[in-house]
Chain A
Amino acid sequence: MIEMSEVYKTYPNGVLAINGIDIKINQGEFVYVVGPSGAGKSTFIKMMYREEKPSSGKIIINGVDLSTLKESKVPMLRRQIGVVFQDFKLLSKLTVFENVAFALEVIGENPKSIKKRVLDVLDLVQLKHKARFFPDELSGGEQQRVSIARSIVNNPAVMIADEPTGNLDPDTSWEIMHLFEEINNRGTTILMATHNKEIVNTLKKRVIAIEDGKIVRDEARGEYGIYD
Protein backbone atom coordinates (compact mmCIF):
# COMPACT_ATOMS: atom_id res chain seq x y z
CA MET A 1 0.00 0.00 0.00
CA ILE A 2 2.55 2.55 1.17
CA GLU A 3 6.20 1.75 0.79
CA MET A 4 9.26 3.92 1.38
CA SER A 5 12.79 2.76 0.84
CA GLU A 6 15.95 4.73 1.60
CA VAL A 7 14.14 8.04 1.48
CA TYR A 8 16.14 11.18 2.15
CA LYS A 9 14.96 14.76 2.01
CA THR A 10 17.15 17.85 2.17
CA TYR A 11 15.47 21.23 1.82
CA PRO A 12 17.04 23.88 -0.43
CA ASN A 13 18.21 25.75 2.70
CA GLY A 14 20.33 22.73 3.63
CA VAL A 15 18.14 21.33 6.38
CA LEU A 16 18.15 17.54 6.37
CA ALA A 17 14.54 16.69 7.26
CA ILE A 18 14.41 12.99 6.43
CA ASN A 19 17.54 10.96 6.97
CA GLY A 20 16.93 7.53 5.50
CA ILE A 21 13.47 6.08 6.05
CA ASP A 22 12.32 2.57 5.14
CA ILE A 23 8.76 1.61 5.91
CA LYS A 24 5.85 -0.45 4.75
CA ILE A 25 2.21 0.20 5.60
CA ASN A 26 -0.52 -2.23 4.53
CA GLN A 27 -3.99 -1.55 3.20
CA GLY A 28 -6.44 -0.86 6.02
CA GLU A 29 -3.84 -0.09 8.69
CA PHE A 30 -4.22 2.73 11.21
CA VAL A 31 -0.86 4.32 11.98
CA TYR A 32 0.10 7.08 14.41
CA VAL A 33 3.18 9.12 13.53
CA VAL A 34 4.70 10.58 16.68
CA GLY A 35 7.86 12.46 17.58
CA PRO A 36 9.09 15.81 18.86
CA SER A 37 8.39 19.01 16.93
CA GLY A 38 10.78 19.49 14.06
CA ALA A 39 11.66 15.80 13.88
CA GLY A 40 10.44 15.47 10.30
CA LYS A 41 6.84 14.27 10.83
CA SER A 42 5.35 16.91 8.58
CA THR A 43 7.87 16.31 5.82
CA PHE A 44 7.24 12.57 6.10
CA ILE A 45 3.53 13.15 5.68
CA LYS A 46 3.86 15.75 2.92
CA MET A 47 5.92 13.36 0.82
CA MET A 48 2.99 10.92 0.85
CA TYR A 49 0.74 13.24 -1.10
CA ARG A 50 3.59 14.62 -3.15
CA GLU A 51 3.55 18.08 -1.58
CA GLU A 52 7.27 17.51 -1.10
CA LYS A 53 9.51 15.40 -3.30
CA PRO A 54 12.18 13.20 -1.71
CA SER A 55 15.77 14.15 -2.58
CA SER A 56 16.47 10.46 -3.09
CA GLY A 57 14.84 7.12 -2.46
CA LYS A 58 11.64 5.47 -3.55
CA ILE A 59 8.03 6.04 -2.44
CA ILE A 60 5.23 3.84 -3.71
CA ILE A 61 1.62 4.67 -2.88
CA ASN A 62 -1.17 2.36 -4.00
CA GLY A 63 1.10 0.96 -6.71
CA VAL A 64 2.17 4.39 -7.98
CA ASP A 65 5.89 5.16 -7.88
CA LEU A 66 6.14 8.79 -6.75
CA SER A 67 9.78 9.13 -7.75
CA THR A 68 8.94 8.67 -11.43
CA LEU A 69 5.47 10.22 -11.28
CA LYS A 70 5.00 12.92 -13.89
CA GLU A 71 3.95 16.34 -12.65
CA SER A 72 0.77 16.09 -14.70
CA LYS A 73 -0.24 12.86 -12.90
CA VAL A 74 0.03 14.35 -9.40
CA PRO A 75 -3.68 15.38 -9.35
CA MET A 76 -4.67 11.77 -10.08
CA LEU A 77 -2.57 10.60 -7.12
CA ARG A 78 -4.20 13.14 -4.84
CA ARG A 79 -7.67 11.93 -5.77
CA GLN A 80 -6.75 8.67 -4.03
CA ILE A 81 -5.57 10.42 -0.88
CA GLY A 82 -7.71 12.39 1.55
CA VAL A 83 -5.88 15.00 3.63
CA VAL A 84 -7.03 16.58 6.90
CA PHE A 85 -5.28 19.40 8.75
CA GLN A 86 -5.21 20.95 12.17
CA ASP A 87 -6.69 24.21 10.81
CA PHE A 88 -9.51 22.52 8.81
CA LYS A 89 -8.92 24.64 5.67
CA LEU A 90 -12.59 25.25 4.95
CA LEU A 91 -13.83 27.99 2.63
CA SER A 92 -15.70 30.46 4.82
CA LYS A 93 -17.90 31.77 2.00
CA LEU A 94 -19.29 28.35 1.20
CA THR A 95 -21.82 26.37 3.22
CA VAL A 96 -21.01 22.98 4.73
CA PHE A 97 -22.62 21.28 1.76
CA GLU A 98 -20.77 23.46 -0.75
CA ASN A 99 -17.43 22.94 0.98
CA VAL A 100 -17.74 19.19 0.60
CA ALA A 101 -19.20 19.41 -2.91
CA PHE A 102 -16.30 21.65 -3.91
CA ALA A 103 -13.90 18.68 -3.72
CA LEU A 104 -15.98 16.82 -6.30
CA GLU A 105 -16.78 19.79 -8.52
CA VAL A 106 -13.15 20.70 -9.10
CA ILE A 107 -12.28 17.21 -10.28
CA GLY A 108 -15.09 17.42 -12.81
CA GLU A 109 -17.56 15.00 -11.24
CA ASN A 110 -21.05 14.77 -12.66
CA PRO A 111 -23.23 17.33 -10.80
CA LYS A 112 -26.08 14.87 -10.51
CA SER A 113 -24.04 12.38 -8.53
CA ILE A 114 -22.43 15.09 -6.39
CA LYS A 115 -25.51 15.88 -4.34
CA LYS A 116 -26.14 12.30 -3.26
CA ARG A 117 -22.51 11.60 -2.41
CA VAL A 118 -22.17 14.78 -0.37
CA LEU A 119 -25.34 14.08 1.61
CA ASP A 120 -24.18 10.50 2.24
CA VAL A 121 -20.84 11.60 3.61
CA LEU A 122 -22.42 14.38 5.70
CA ASP A 123 -24.64 11.69 7.14
CA LEU A 124 -21.56 9.68 8.07
CA VAL A 125 -20.01 12.62 9.96
CA GLN A 126 -23.45 13.40 11.45
CA LEU A 127 -23.73 16.89 10.00
CA LYS A 128 -26.52 16.40 7.50
CA HIS A 129 -28.76 18.68 9.55
CA LYS A 130 -26.19 21.49 9.30
CA ALA A 131 -25.61 21.26 5.54
CA ARG A 132 -26.72 24.84 5.00
CA PHE A 133 -24.61 26.31 7.80
CA PHE A 134 -21.45 28.29 7.16
CA PRO A 135 -18.18 27.16 8.80
CA ASP A 136 -18.18 30.16 11.16
CA GLU A 137 -21.49 28.99 12.59
CA LEU A 138 -20.04 25.63 13.64
CA SER A 139 -17.93 24.48 16.60
CA GLY A 140 -14.30 23.43 16.06
CA GLY A 141 -15.20 19.76 16.20
CA GLU A 142 -17.97 20.21 13.66
CA GLN A 143 -15.63 22.11 11.35
CA GLN A 144 -13.13 19.29 11.55
CA ARG A 145 -15.89 16.83 10.72
CA VAL A 146 -16.71 18.88 7.61
CA SER A 147 -13.08 18.77 6.56
CA ILE A 148 -13.01 15.00 7.15
CA ALA A 149 -16.16 14.65 5.08
CA ARG A 150 -14.48 16.60 2.31
CA SER A 151 -11.38 14.42 2.44
CA ILE A 152 -13.29 11.13 2.12
CA VAL A 153 -16.11 12.15 -0.20
CA ASN A 154 -14.13 10.81 -3.15
CA ASN A 155 -13.57 7.44 -1.40
CA PRO A 156 -9.79 7.68 -1.16
CA ALA A 157 -7.73 4.58 -0.40
CA VAL A 158 -5.56 6.52 2.05
CA MET A 159 -6.38 9.23 4.54
CA ILE A 160 -3.62 11.41 5.88
CA ALA A 161 -4.21 13.59 8.94
CA ASP A 162 -1.70 16.13 10.22
CA GLU A 163 -2.53 16.84 13.88
CA PRO A 164 -6.29 16.65 13.31
CA THR A 165 -7.08 17.12 17.01
CA GLY A 166 -4.50 19.84 17.60
CA ASN A 167 -7.11 22.61 17.87
CA LEU A 168 -9.80 20.66 19.69
CA ASP A 169 -10.70 20.03 23.34
CA PRO A 170 -10.35 16.43 24.68
CA ASP A 171 -14.03 15.48 24.35
CA THR A 172 -14.23 16.74 20.79
CA SER A 173 -10.94 15.04 19.98
CA TRP A 174 -12.44 11.72 20.96
CA GLU A 175 -15.43 12.35 18.72
CA ILE A 176 -13.05 12.86 15.84
CA MET A 177 -11.08 9.73 16.74
CA HIS A 178 -14.21 7.61 16.74
CA LEU A 179 -15.01 8.97 13.32
CA PHE A 180 -11.51 8.00 12.15
CA GLU A 181 -12.01 4.50 13.50
CA GLU A 182 -15.26 4.20 11.63
CA ILE A 183 -13.60 5.33 8.41
CA ASN A 184 -10.72 2.92 9.05
CA ASN A 185 -13.20 0.08 9.60
CA ARG A 186 -14.54 0.68 6.11
CA GLY A 187 -11.09 -0.21 4.75
CA THR A 188 -9.40 3.16 4.40
CA THR A 189 -5.75 3.27 5.43
CA ILE A 190 -5.17 6.05 7.97
CA LEU A 191 -1.92 7.81 8.72
CA MET A 192 -2.15 10.34 11.52
CA ALA A 193 0.56 12.60 12.85
CA THR A 194 -0.27 13.60 16.41
CA HIS A 195 0.96 15.06 19.69
CA ASN A 196 -2.00 13.68 21.63
CA LYS A 197 -0.51 11.28 24.18
CA GLU A 198 -3.83 10.25 25.71
CA ILE A 199 -5.30 9.21 22.41
CA VAL A 200 -2.27 7.22 21.30
CA ASN A 201 -2.03 5.42 24.62
CA THR A 202 -5.75 4.67 24.88
CA LEU A 203 -6.80 3.88 21.32
CA LYS A 204 -3.92 1.50 20.65
CA LYS A 205 -2.69 1.30 17.07
CA ARG A 206 0.61 0.94 15.24
CA VAL A 207 2.99 3.73 16.26
CA ILE A 208 5.85 5.07 14.17
CA ALA A 209 8.18 7.40 16.06
CA ILE A 210 10.36 9.78 14.10
CA GLU A 211 13.36 11.59 15.56
CA ASP A 212 15.95 13.57 13.63
CA GLY A 213 14.52 12.40 10.34
CA LYS A 214 14.76 8.69 11.20
CA ILE A 215 12.32 6.07 12.39
CA VAL A 216 13.44 5.22 15.92
CA ARG A 217 10.49 3.03 16.87
CA ASP A 218 7.84 1.06 15.00
CA GLU A 219 5.46 -0.92 17.23
CA ALA A 220 2.27 -2.75 16.32
CA ARG A 221 0.32 -1.54 19.40
CA GLY A 222 2.64 1.15 20.62
CA GLU A 223 2.79 3.84 23.27
CA TYR A 224 3.13 7.56 22.66
CA GLY A 225 6.54 7.85 24.36
CA ILE A 226 7.98 10.74 26.26
CA TYR A 227 7.61 13.67 23.88
CA ASP A 228 5.95 16.94 24.83
Chain B
Amino acid sequence: MINTLGRHLRESLKSLARNTWMTFASISAVTVTLILVGTFLVIMMNLNHVASNLEKDVEIRVLIDVTADEKAQQTLKSEIEKISQVDSIVFSPKEKELDNLVESLGEEGKSFELFEQNNPLNDVFVVKAKNPRDTAAVAEQISGLDNASKVRYGQDQVDKLFDAISVARNIGIGLIIGLIFTAMFLISNTIKITIIARKREIEIMRLVGATNGFIRWPFFLEGLLLGVFGAVIPIALISVSYQSLYTWALPKLQGSFVEVLPLSPFVFQISAILLLIGALIGVWGSLMSVRKFLKV
Protein backbone atom coordinates (compact mmCIF):
# COMPACT_ATOMS: atom_id res chain seq x y z
CA MET B 1 0.00 0.00 0.00
CA ILE B 2 2.75 2.44 1.03
CA ASN B 3 4.63 1.28 -2.02
CA THR B 4 1.79 1.97 -4.45
CA LEU B 5 1.15 5.35 -2.86
CA GLY B 6 4.79 6.25 -3.32
CA ARG B 7 4.58 5.15 -6.93
CA HIS B 8 1.43 7.24 -7.55
CA LEU B 9 3.05 10.26 -5.94
CA ARG B 10 6.15 9.87 -8.12
CA GLU B 11 3.98 9.61 -11.23
CA SER B 12 1.99 12.73 -10.31
CA LEU B 13 5.08 14.80 -9.56
CA LYS B 14 6.69 13.63 -12.79
CA SER B 15 3.78 14.76 -14.91
CA LEU B 16 3.55 18.07 -13.02
CA ALA B 17 7.18 18.67 -13.88
CA ARG B 18 6.60 17.63 -17.49
CA ASN B 19 3.70 20.04 -18.14
CA THR B 20 5.52 23.00 -16.64
CA TRP B 21 3.36 25.74 -18.11
CA MET B 22 -0.01 24.18 -17.44
CA THR B 23 1.13 23.38 -13.92
CA PHE B 24 2.22 26.96 -13.47
CA ALA B 25 -1.07 28.33 -14.85
CA SER B 26 -3.19 26.04 -12.66
CA ILE B 27 -1.28 26.80 -9.50
CA SER B 28 -1.44 30.54 -10.25
CA ALA B 29 -5.19 30.36 -10.77
CA VAL B 30 -5.64 28.60 -7.44
CA THR B 31 -3.29 31.11 -5.80
CA VAL B 32 -5.16 34.16 -7.08
CA THR B 33 -8.49 32.60 -6.16
CA LEU B 34 -7.40 31.74 -2.66
CA ILE B 35 -5.81 35.13 -2.01
CA LEU B 36 -9.15 36.71 -2.84
CA VAL B 37 -11.10 34.14 -0.86
CA GLY B 38 -8.77 34.67 2.09
CA THR B 39 -8.96 38.48 1.99
CA PHE B 40 -12.70 38.29 1.68
CA LEU B 41 -12.98 35.87 4.59
CA VAL B 42 -10.78 38.08 6.78
CA ILE B 43 -12.92 41.12 6.04
CA MET B 44 -16.27 39.38 6.36
CA MET B 45 -15.45 37.52 9.55
CA ASN B 46 -14.14 40.69 11.17
CA LEU B 47 -17.14 42.73 10.08
CA ASN B 48 -19.42 40.08 11.49
CA HIS B 49 -17.46 40.10 14.69
CA VAL B 50 -17.74 43.89 14.98
CA ALA B 51 -21.43 43.83 14.19
CA SER B 52 -22.24 41.20 16.78
CA ASN B 53 -20.22 43.09 19.36
CA LEU B 54 -22.13 46.24 18.53
CA GLU B 55 -25.38 44.41 18.73
CA LYS B 56 -24.54 43.15 22.20
CA ASP B 57 -24.06 46.75 23.32
CA VAL B 58 -27.33 48.02 21.96
CA GLU B 59 -29.31 49.62 24.77
CA ILE B 60 -32.71 51.18 24.99
CA ARG B 61 -32.82 54.67 26.40
CA VAL B 62 -36.17 55.44 27.94
CA LEU B 63 -36.59 59.20 28.40
CA ILE B 64 -38.78 59.80 31.42
CA ASP B 65 -41.45 62.48 31.29
CA VAL B 66 -40.22 65.67 33.01
CA THR B 67 -43.51 65.84 34.87
CA ALA B 68 -43.14 62.40 36.41
CA ASP B 69 -42.48 62.46 40.15
CA GLU B 70 -40.44 59.88 42.04
CA LYS B 71 -43.43 57.61 42.59
CA ALA B 72 -44.37 57.65 38.91
CA GLN B 73 -40.76 56.83 38.05
CA GLN B 74 -40.84 53.82 40.39
CA THR B 75 -44.05 52.61 38.75
CA LEU B 76 -42.49 52.93 35.31
CA LYS B 77 -39.41 51.05 36.48
CA SER B 78 -41.40 48.13 37.84
CA GLU B 79 -43.54 48.08 34.68
CA ILE B 80 -40.39 47.78 32.56
CA GLU B 81 -38.99 45.08 34.81
CA LYS B 82 -42.13 43.07 34.22
CA ILE B 83 -41.29 42.72 30.52
CA SER B 84 -39.88 39.22 30.29
CA GLN B 85 -37.13 39.90 27.74
CA VAL B 86 -35.60 42.68 29.84
CA ASP B 87 -32.19 41.89 31.24
CA SER B 88 -31.22 45.00 33.19
CA ILE B 89 -32.49 48.47 33.95
CA VAL B 90 -30.33 51.32 35.23
CA PHE B 91 -31.46 54.78 36.29
CA SER B 92 -29.44 57.68 34.94
CA PRO B 93 -30.44 61.09 36.41
CA LYS B 94 -30.53 64.11 34.13
CA GLU B 95 -27.45 65.63 35.79
CA LYS B 96 -25.42 62.62 34.71
CA GLU B 97 -26.93 62.75 31.23
CA LEU B 98 -25.76 66.36 30.91
CA ASP B 99 -22.27 65.45 32.11
CA ASN B 100 -22.12 62.70 29.52
CA LEU B 101 -23.27 65.05 26.78
CA VAL B 102 -20.76 67.70 27.77
CA GLU B 103 -18.01 65.17 27.88
CA SER B 104 -18.85 63.66 24.52
CA LEU B 105 -18.79 67.09 22.89
CA GLY B 106 -15.36 67.90 24.25
CA GLU B 107 -14.25 71.56 24.02
CA GLU B 108 -17.49 72.74 22.48
CA GLY B 109 -19.43 71.12 25.29
CA LYS B 110 -18.04 73.67 27.70
CA SER B 111 -20.71 76.15 26.62
CA PHE B 112 -23.37 73.79 27.95
CA GLU B 113 -22.07 74.13 31.46
CA LEU B 114 -24.28 77.19 31.78
CA PHE B 115 -27.31 74.94 31.59
CA GLU B 116 -26.40 73.24 34.82
CA GLN B 117 -28.84 75.39 36.72
CA ASN B 118 -31.58 74.81 34.19
CA ASN B 119 -31.01 71.29 32.82
CA PRO B 120 -33.29 70.68 29.81
CA LEU B 121 -32.57 66.94 29.63
CA ASN B 122 -34.72 64.09 30.89
CA ASP B 123 -33.98 61.48 33.48
CA VAL B 124 -33.31 58.23 31.69
CA PHE B 125 -33.75 54.51 32.25
CA VAL B 126 -31.11 52.53 30.38
CA VAL B 127 -32.62 49.15 29.52
CA LYS B 128 -30.91 46.11 28.00
CA ALA B 129 -32.65 43.13 26.48
CA LYS B 130 -31.54 39.60 27.32
CA ASN B 131 -31.24 38.81 23.61
CA PRO B 132 -30.11 41.72 21.40
CA ARG B 133 -32.54 40.52 18.72
CA ASP B 134 -35.47 41.37 21.03
CA THR B 135 -34.41 44.99 21.43
CA ALA B 136 -36.95 46.32 18.96
CA ALA B 137 -39.83 44.40 20.57
CA VAL B 138 -38.89 45.54 24.06
CA ALA B 139 -38.61 49.15 22.92
CA GLU B 140 -42.04 48.87 21.35
CA GLN B 141 -43.61 47.70 24.61
CA ILE B 142 -41.91 50.36 26.68
CA SER B 143 -43.05 53.15 24.43
CA GLY B 144 -46.66 52.21 25.30
CA LEU B 145 -46.13 52.76 29.01
CA ASP B 146 -47.14 55.92 30.95
CA ASN B 147 -44.42 58.50 31.63
CA ALA B 148 -42.11 57.10 28.97
CA SER B 149 -41.90 60.18 26.80
CA LYS B 150 -39.46 58.85 24.25
CA VAL B 151 -37.78 55.50 23.58
CA ARG B 152 -34.54 55.44 21.63
CA TYR B 153 -32.25 52.59 20.61
CA GLY B 154 -29.37 52.06 18.19
CA GLN B 155 -30.81 48.99 16.53
CA ASP B 156 -31.35 50.83 13.25
CA GLN B 157 -27.64 51.36 12.80
CA VAL B 158 -26.84 47.77 13.65
CA ASP B 159 -29.50 46.50 11.25
CA LYS B 160 -28.08 48.68 8.51
CA LEU B 161 -24.62 47.29 9.20
CA PHE B 162 -25.90 43.74 8.99
CA ASP B 163 -27.69 44.54 5.72
CA ALA B 164 -24.50 46.01 4.28
CA ILE B 165 -22.55 42.96 5.36
CA SER B 166 -25.00 40.62 3.72
CA VAL B 167 -24.92 42.55 0.43
CA ALA B 168 -21.13 42.54 0.47
CA ARG B 169 -21.16 38.87 1.28
CA ASN B 170 -23.40 38.00 -1.67
CA ILE B 171 -21.27 39.96 -4.12
CA GLY B 172 -18.11 38.39 -2.71
CA ILE B 173 -19.53 34.87 -2.86
CA GLY B 174 -20.58 35.35 -6.49
CA LEU B 175 -17.12 36.57 -7.42
CA ILE B 176 -15.40 33.76 -5.58
CA ILE B 177 -17.58 31.05 -7.10
CA GLY B 178 -16.62 32.37 -10.54
CA LEU B 179 -12.95 32.30 -9.65
CA ILE B 180 -13.19 28.83 -8.16
CA PHE B 181 -14.71 27.55 -11.39
CA THR B 182 -11.96 29.16 -13.44
CA ALA B 183 -9.33 27.51 -11.28
CA MET B 184 -11.12 24.16 -11.49
CA PHE B 185 -11.36 24.43 -15.24
CA LEU B 186 -7.65 25.11 -15.54
CA ILE B 187 -6.83 22.17 -13.32
CA SER B 188 -9.13 19.88 -15.24
CA ASN B 189 -7.39 20.96 -18.44
CA THR B 190 -4.00 20.16 -16.96
CA ILE B 191 -5.22 16.73 -15.98
CA LYS B 192 -6.67 16.25 -19.45
CA ILE B 193 -3.27 16.95 -20.97
CA THR B 194 -1.69 14.43 -18.61
CA ILE B 195 -4.28 11.83 -19.53
CA ILE B 196 -3.62 12.36 -23.23
CA ALA B 197 0.15 12.29 -22.72
CA ARG B 198 -0.15 9.00 -20.88
CA LYS B 199 -2.67 7.41 -23.20
CA ARG B 200 -0.48 4.46 -24.16
CA GLU B 201 0.54 3.84 -20.58
CA ILE B 202 -3.11 3.80 -19.53
CA GLU B 203 -3.94 1.42 -22.38
CA ILE B 204 -1.24 -1.01 -21.26
CA MET B 205 -2.26 -0.74 -17.64
CA ARG B 206 -5.78 -1.73 -18.59
CA LEU B 207 -4.53 -4.62 -20.72
CA VAL B 208 -2.40 -6.15 -18.01
CA GLY B 209 -5.19 -5.83 -15.46
CA ALA B 210 -4.47 -2.75 -13.35
CA THR B 211 -7.59 -1.78 -11.42
CA ASN B 212 -9.48 1.40 -12.26
CA GLY B 213 -8.62 2.82 -8.88
CA PHE B 214 -4.94 2.22 -9.50
CA ILE B 215 -5.13 3.94 -12.89
CA ARG B 216 -7.02 6.94 -11.49
CA TRP B 217 -4.98 7.58 -8.36
CA PRO B 218 -2.10 9.51 -9.96
CA PHE B 219 -4.56 11.90 -11.58
CA PHE B 220 -6.38 12.59 -8.32
CA LEU B 221 -3.06 13.15 -6.62
CA GLU B 222 -1.97 15.48 -9.40
CA GLY B 223 -5.11 17.58 -8.95
CA LEU B 224 -4.76 17.51 -5.19
CA LEU B 225 -1.14 18.64 -5.41
CA LEU B 226 -2.03 21.49 -7.78
CA GLY B 227 -4.68 22.68 -5.30
CA VAL B 228 -2.45 22.32 -2.26
CA PHE B 229 0.56 24.00 -3.92
CA GLY B 230 -1.78 26.82 -4.96
CA ALA B 231 -2.78 27.33 -1.32
CA VAL B 232 0.77 27.84 -0.02
CA ILE B 233 1.28 31.46 -1.07
CA PRO B 234 -2.21 32.64 -0.03
CA ILE B 235 -1.85 31.06 3.41
CA ALA B 236 1.56 32.64 3.97
CA LEU B 237 0.44 35.99 2.61
CA ILE B 238 -2.78 36.18 4.61
CA SER B 239 -1.15 34.99 7.83
CA VAL B 240 1.72 37.47 7.63
CA SER B 241 -0.39 40.43 6.55
CA TYR B 242 -3.10 39.76 9.10
CA GLN B 243 -0.48 39.56 11.80
CA SER B 244 1.07 42.90 10.83
CA LEU B 245 -2.34 44.50 10.33
CA TYR B 246 -3.39 43.24 13.73
CA THR B 247 -0.32 44.54 15.57
CA TRP B 248 -0.63 47.85 13.71
CA ALA B 249 -4.35 48.32 14.31
CA LEU B 250 -4.70 47.01 17.85
CA PRO B 251 -3.34 50.10 19.71
CA LYS B 252 -5.34 52.42 17.47
CA LEU B 253 -8.60 50.61 18.13
CA GLN B 254 -8.05 50.46 21.88
CA GLY B 255 -11.09 51.78 23.68
CA SER B 256 -13.21 52.11 20.56
CA PHE B 257 -16.18 49.87 19.90
CA VAL B 258 -14.41 48.22 16.96
CA GLU B 259 -12.67 45.00 17.88
CA VAL B 260 -10.80 42.73 15.45
CA LEU B 261 -10.56 38.95 15.79
CA PRO B 262 -7.48 37.84 17.73
CA LEU B 263 -4.61 36.23 15.78
CA SER B 264 -5.06 32.79 17.28
CA PRO B 265 -7.12 30.82 16.44
CA PHE B 266 -8.33 33.03 13.58
CA VAL B 267 -5.19 32.77 11.42
CA PHE B 268 -5.15 29.00 11.80
CA GLN B 269 -8.82 28.73 10.93
CA ILE B 270 -8.31 30.80 7.80
CA SER B 271 -5.28 28.72 6.80
CA ALA B 272 -7.18 25.49 7.26
CA ILE B 273 -10.12 26.82 5.23
CA LEU B 274 -7.84 27.95 2.40
CA LEU B 275 -5.98 24.63 2.33
CA LEU B 276 -9.28 22.75 2.25
CA ILE B 277 -10.71 24.90 -0.55
CA GLY B 278 -7.48 24.47 -2.54
CA ALA B 279 -7.56 20.70 -2.13
CA LEU B 280 -11.24 20.55 -3.08
CA ILE B 281 -10.71 22.66 -6.19
CA GLY B 282 -7.85 20.36 -7.21
CA VAL B 283 -9.63 17.08 -6.61
CA TRP B 284 -12.85 18.31 -8.22
CA GLY B 285 -10.98 19.61 -11.25
CA SER B 286 -9.24 16.31 -11.80
CA LEU B 287 -12.46 14.43 -11.20
CA MET B 288 -14.08 16.35 -14.07
CA SER B 289 -11.34 15.28 -16.49
CA VAL B 290 -10.98 11.74 -15.23
CA ARG B 291 -14.71 11.20 -15.68
CA LYS B 292 -14.69 12.64 -19.14
CA PHE B 293 -11.45 11.42 -20.66
CA LEU B 294 -10.35 8.37 -18.72
CA LYS B 295 -12.52 5.58 -20.04
CA VAL B 296 -11.45 2.66 -17.96
Contact = CB atoms under 8 A, between A and B. Distances in A.
Interface in B211-250: 211-212, 214-215
Contacts of B208: 78-79, 102-103, 106-107, 150-151, 154
A78 B204 contact: no
Contacts of B201: 91
Interface of B: 3-4, 7, 200-201, 203-212, 214-215
Given A89-B200, A91-B200, A108 B206 contact: no
Interface residues of A, number: 20
Contacts of A102: 204, 208
A76 interface: yes
Nearest to B3: A111
A83 B209 contact: no
Given A75-B209, A150-B208, A154-B208, A108 B203 contact: no
Contact of A78 (B4, B7, B200, B207): B207
A107 B210 contact: yes
Interface of chain A, main secondary structure = helix
Contacts of B211: 72, 75, 107
A49 interface: yes
A106 B210 contact: yes
B198 to A, nearest CB: 10
Interface in A48-76: 49, 72, 75-76
A102 B201 CA distance: 9
Contacts of A91: 200-201, 204
A78 B212 contact: no
13 contacts: A49-B207, A75-B211, A75-B212, A78-B209, A79-B209, A89-B200, A91-B200, A105-B7, A107-B208, A107-B211, A108-B4, A108-B214, A151-B208
Contacts of B207: 49, 78, 83, 89
Contacts of A150: 208
Contacts of B215: 106
Contacts of A76: 209
